[in-house]
Structure 1
């Protein structure tokens, strides 16, 4: 293609126009007229300069620190109290609240709070709360993260949106922790472990970002299965809780009955041992007594026989449980002897 450079040059000159800059000469004339009308123009100028210098005074509150920037670059940090910085635009100061604990909600948003009626309205955010567990189940996790400023320099200059950074990092950390746990642990006994693991992992992520943020706490607000199957999961969780309760009750019963049984066994063994000792000692004593009597019997048979007879009669007559009838030799010859028989109740037959 052949370009007609002369036509192009004419079109360019035709379409160009001149832009005139501001007429500073007229502006200087207006300022000169204004100074002539104001006799104290130099005084006003000094007052303006003084006010400009005084604009560098600032106060840092007790819960804040002052972060001074010089021409936009970080210069220094000032503690609470009155301070001075070079006036704008040379220096400017930011005062972040380093002691205030801030919170981020993940999986839900608080719409309104009524402290009097304790009525709190929420809006669910399922795209943040639905997560996949390690056993490939979907669980709805809603939690909050509390944090505060650890390093104001990093906090102000290393991250553009601290709240969004914390929210995105917290969501990523929670998804990783939930993915390493099964759904039973997330719904029942593993909530505390999940909170601690998420807090540790979230702090590691923010430290890698050099965000200057310290995580205070991660708190699970609500953990439940998807609403379509929540009733079935509740039944399963209830059955598992009943199982744990029954096991604990059985353990408690075992811990209660075993010591009692061991105590009763020890008591029976002690009583048997004591009975054994008493029987053995009694048998040894009777054996020794019999041997001594036998020794005396061999020395004097008649005397020993009569002594044994008298001791036996004495023992029988002194026993109140034995019914006794005493007859003389003469009476015994005229009496027909008979046998005393007892019935089932231990009484003589014929007696009432």
Structure 2
């Protein structure tokens, strides 16, 4: 039989679970005593002599735990009241869940247990892809690229949207799901634009359609934030670029489309060759025609001046001829001979005419048949 030691039972350390159990039991005993006093029946149960010591231990342990908890709460509040915002970020401070202020990069302070802070990256450019093959980095689906043009043709359109945070407060609280809003509104805008255009126009005006789609997408997102488009204000989502990557027909009509495209390229090539030939020949012909016209004008002026000169010279000679006919006639004869004689190869001077005329230019000095009599022609034969 185990007998307790004379110095009493050894006290064991009280843990948190034992402390809570004893505290609950003490509360129950207190309420039972109050009920018994109100009924006036029976005597209170005998109390253990060690109960005061146990209560003092419980209260001491509770005080220690409360002090530790209070110290932890205080340290946590002190450490959480200071925070650092990195470059390219902004901190949105909420006081009891309501927007209070925006904190810039650097070390900042907030009231502990009253204010919360949300970091927003305002420099990073976010990207959404549409109509591309689904990969680990892309959430796009092939079905979203199929669109119907204004002339009832089906094409596949692939595009990307890049956006960043403009106003971090509006970015957080004006639109619940920014990523989904960008995807839905972007697809709506592209389908609306393509549906109002013809097939050939969409294929040939990619840059212009991308610019129009970017403006309309920004306007739609602005209306989601404020209900109206206030272009002068800074909005939560700022569209950086919208680029149409690929616009192609579906696989079923690609062979026919390729043939049409090749024919169109051949037509453009022939047109370019014709324009090249035109630019090479027509200016040259125009230059030659202008040259001939200028030469004709020059020739006309020359002939006119020559005629005027000859007329003046003839008038001068006629005037001199009237003054001295023999002298003028002789001078004209000599001037004519001076011009003609240098061009003559052979010169014969004869006092009397010679019959028959000899063809002096013929080889061997033979008589030309043109000057022979019929008898002489028979002899020669």
Normalising to structure 1: TM-score of the pair? 0.78
Superposition map of 1:187-206 within 5 A = 187=203, 189-206=204-221
Equivalent pairs, count? 307
1:26 equivalent in alignment to 2:42: no
What's the counterpart of residue 270 of structure 2?
Answer: 246
What's the counterpart of residue 60 of structure 1?
Answer: 85
What's the counterpart of residue 217 of structure 1?
Answer: 241
What are the Cα deviations for residues 303-335 of structure 1, in whole angstroms up to 9, with x where unaligned? 11111111111111233xx32313253xx5567
What are the Cα deviations for residues 144-165 of structure 1, in whole angstroms up to 9, with x where unaligned? 1111111111110111111111
Cα distance in structure 2, aligned partners of 1:184 and 1:53: 66
- State the secondary structure of the residue aligned to 2:121: coil
Superposition map of 1:1-352 within 5 A = 25-26=23-24, 32-35=59-62, 42=67, 45-46=70-71, 48-88=73-113, 90-112=114-136, 125-187=141-203, 189-210=204-225, 212-319=236-343, 322-327=344-349, 329=351, 332-333=352-353, 337-338=357-358
Shift, 1:24, TM fit: 11
Cα distance in structure 2, aligned partners of 1:285 and 1:292: 10
- State the secondary structure of the residue aligned to 1:108: coil
1:53 and 1:287, CA in 2 relative to 1: closer, same or farther beyond 3 A? same
What are the Cα deviations for residues 256-291 of structure 1, in whole angstroms up to 9, with x where unaligned? 333222222211111111111111111111111111
1:294 and 1:338, CA in 2 relative to 1: closer, same or farther beyond 3 A? farther
1:112 and 1:178, CA in 2 relative to 1: closer, same or farther beyond 3 A? same
Q: Is the 8 A contact 2:129 2:140 kept in 1?
A: no
Cα distance in structure 1, aligned partners of 2:312 and 2:140: 97
1:123 and 1:87, CA in 2 relative to 1: closer, same or farther beyond 3 A? closer
Normalising to structure 2: TM-score of the pair? 0.73
Q: Is the 8 A contact 1:106 1:128 kept in 2?
A: yes
1:112 and 1:338, CA in 2 relative to 1: closer, same or farther beyond 3 A? farther
How big is the alpha-carbon RMSD for the aligned residues of Structure 1 and Structure 2? 3.0
Shift, 1:23, TM fit: 8.6
Q: Is the 8 A contact 2:88 2:122 kept in 1?
A: yes
1:123 and 1:171, CA in 2 relative to 1: closer, same or farther beyond 3 A? closer
Structure with max Cα Rg: 2
Unaligned runs of 5+ in 1: 1-21, 114-121, 343-348
